[in-house]
Amino acid sequence: MREKQEKLSAFEYQGGKIITERLCQALEVKNQRELSTLLDIPTSTMSTWHKRDLCPFEVVLRAHMYTGISVKWLTLGEGEPFPNRVSSEHQSKRLEPKVLFDIDSFKILNGDLKELKTLTFDKSLLDQVSVMNAMAIRHGELTSIIDKEVNQAVSGTYLVDMDGLLSLNDIQRLPGKKLAISFNGSTLTVEEDEVRVVGRVALVMEKK
């Protein structure tokens, strides 16, 4: 061991609800109840994490080993969620290097996500719309790229979870922590905590 080795000081780990929300995102579950079932951990244990602002390190490591999710992102909120996501370099006709990323793709069927074939995107396209953690939702001839880092609705189209059912909806934030949500031409006003925002639509592509 070196005589003057630098100290390995403790990080300021985050904890509580913010960790469980990131775990839900990483493990692709809808809510705390589903996360509890998946991890085989009582919801009361998660409530303790929230009340005491604890970081569940064992669960963080388990999620990392199963999915490759970044421990630093889960515990500190730094960096990218999936820094080692499969990518490849491609040389364009103009000899410009391109970095290609694989994105998980789904369609919504009866309020649930049904997995489809993985889509490959040019990273520069995702960078243009500032998306770091993406998923794709296909609906008809359209494909929506969802930014899963956005978990609060302001104005736009969002992938939302209402009563355990997923859907794509236009949302406008209203005063008093209320949201106006569009449903097939009609608008419903709900309380903010009645809706869980999974992500915001950052880009929509149409098949020609």
Give all domains of the chain, ordered by start, each with its CATH number. Answer: 17-76 (1.10.260.40), 87-206 (2.10.109.10)
Residue numbers of the chain with a pLDDT score lower than 70: 1-5, 84-100, 208
- Kindly provide the b/e burial profile for residues 165-199, where b requires at least 16 CB atoms within 10 angstroms of the residue's own CB: ebebbebeeeeeeebbbeeeeeeeeeeeeebbbbb
**Whole-number pLDDT of residue 84:** 61
Residue 86: predicted pLDDT: 52
Q: Write down the pLDDT at residue 5.
A: 65
pLDDT of residue 134: 86
The tokens describing 52, both together, are: 């005491």
103: three-class secondary structure by DSSP: strand
Token pair belonging to 104: 């998980």
Q: What is the spatial distance between Cα 168 and Cα 57, in angstroms, rounded to a whole number?
A: 33
The per-residue pLDDT for 179 is 94
